[in-house]
Structure 1
Amino acid sequence: KDKNSTQTCSTCGGNGQVRRVQNTFLGQMQTVATCPDCNGEGSTVTAKCGGCKGDGRVYGEETVSIDIPAGVQEGMQLNVSGKGNAGERGGSNGDLIILVEEEAHKELHREGLNVAYELHLSFTDAVFGTQAEVPTIDGRAKIKIPAGTQSGKIFRLKGKGFPAVNSYEKGDQLIQVSIWTPQQLSTEEKAALEKLSSSPNFTPQPEKSERNFFDRIKDLFQ
């Protein structure tokens, strides 16, 4: 309230510390602690401000704009120097700590720097091959699906993942094929498939060169 309304703390005599003597079975023990009345400042305020009660700070809110670096992940912390709480009695301001939380995407799933996407293909597209359009973090991209693609096949789009923070490194986009099986068939469709089911080409014949399920799962986390 008044810059001249301060006086030397009567508790510590201006030292900011108080000494206490305790009697123990080993004799007297002396300890030094911060003065509880002046909080170590050595002086107290006699005419305190009605707004801050002599603390020099009041509650308030401020909106600040910050730059979010590319590639930040869930749980990362961003530090904005000097934008935290005001220091006591004119002291330095603290920092503003911002915790990053990610919102889930309806189609893409993040795995570190990599992006995973499940591509649903019809049985005929998997047999004959096709060109599919998939979402990426940069928009949409087209990929070629070769004839005879198996369910679980993983395609990799190099460099289509997230960038590393403060680095030139980039992740990839992993596209896993899931072949959709129809649940309802007409009489004609059932007859056609029953006729084809006896063909040797419709009998599972996995090749030894094909990667198994567990190897493909490992690819998702590399």
Structure 2
Amino acid sequence: LVLIEEEAHDELIRDENDLIYNLLLSFPTAALGGSVEIPTVDGKVKVKIEAGTQPGKVLRLRGKGLPSVNRYGTGDLLVNISVYVPEKLSKDEKKAIEQMEKSDNFKTSPSLSEKIFAKFRNLFD
């Protein structure tokens, strides 16, 4: 009989062999793209964030999860993307966002809203 005690990780959540990490991006990084460091069980890895990354997107880092005890292979690290929206803005920041809001590129369409709500509905099905 072998008894294995599992210790909780500060940032990673276990789901069988997969690990889950909730990443909070700044709006500029989500809109413009960039790179961020993600914790793994083996240390940090740098991940490229594509320009236009949407909240709710899940990145899959293959083989960055936990090794299987009963089978071959290793789980994946699933990175859930959220975007931080600041609660307080300076006058200049507010003015910049108001300028962006006037652009057609920042207007949402009903079809986009339907897609987003469909994703949330699928989470609870």
After superposing on structure 2, the runs of 4+ consecutive aligned residues of structure 1 that deviate more than 4 Å are 207-211
Larger Rg: 1
1:129 counterpart = 2:36: no
Of Structure 1 and Structure 2, which has the larger fraction of its residues in helix?
Answer: 2
**Amino acid aligned to 1:190:** K
Q: Give the TM-score normalised by structure 2.
A: 0.84
Match of 1:113 in 2: 17
Q: Give the TM-score normalised by structure 1.
A: 0.50
CA distance in 2, matches of 1:145, 1:209: 21
CA distance in 1, matches of 2:97, 2:115: 28
CA distance in 2, matches of 1:202, 1:209: 16
Match of 1:160 in 2: 64
Match of 1:186 in 2: 90
Give 3-state SS (helix, strand or coil) of 1:196's partner.
helix
Match of 1:148 in 2: 52
Alpha-carbon RMSD? 2.2
- Residue deviations 1:53-85 (CA, integer Å, cap 9, x gap): xxxxxxxxxxxxxxxxxxxxxxxxxx06xxxxx
Q: Which has the higher contact order (CA 8 A, sep 6+)?
A: 2
CA distance in 2, matches of 1:166, 1:127: 42
CA distance in 2, matches of 1:103, 1:199: 49
Give 3-state SS (helix, strand or coil) of 1:147's partner.
coil
Match of 1:169 in 2: 73
CA distance in 2, matches of 1:143, 1:209: 26
Unmatched 5+ stretches in structure 2: none
Match of 2:119 in 1: 212
Q: What displacement does 1:184 show?
A: 1.1
Unmatched 5+ stretches in structure 1: 1-78, 81-97
Q: How many residues align?
A: 121
Match of 1:102 in 2: 6
Q: What displacement does 1:158 show?
A: 0.7
Give 3-state SS (helix, strand or coil) of 2:31's partner.
helix
Q: Percent identity?
A: 45
**Amino acid aligned to 2:8:** A
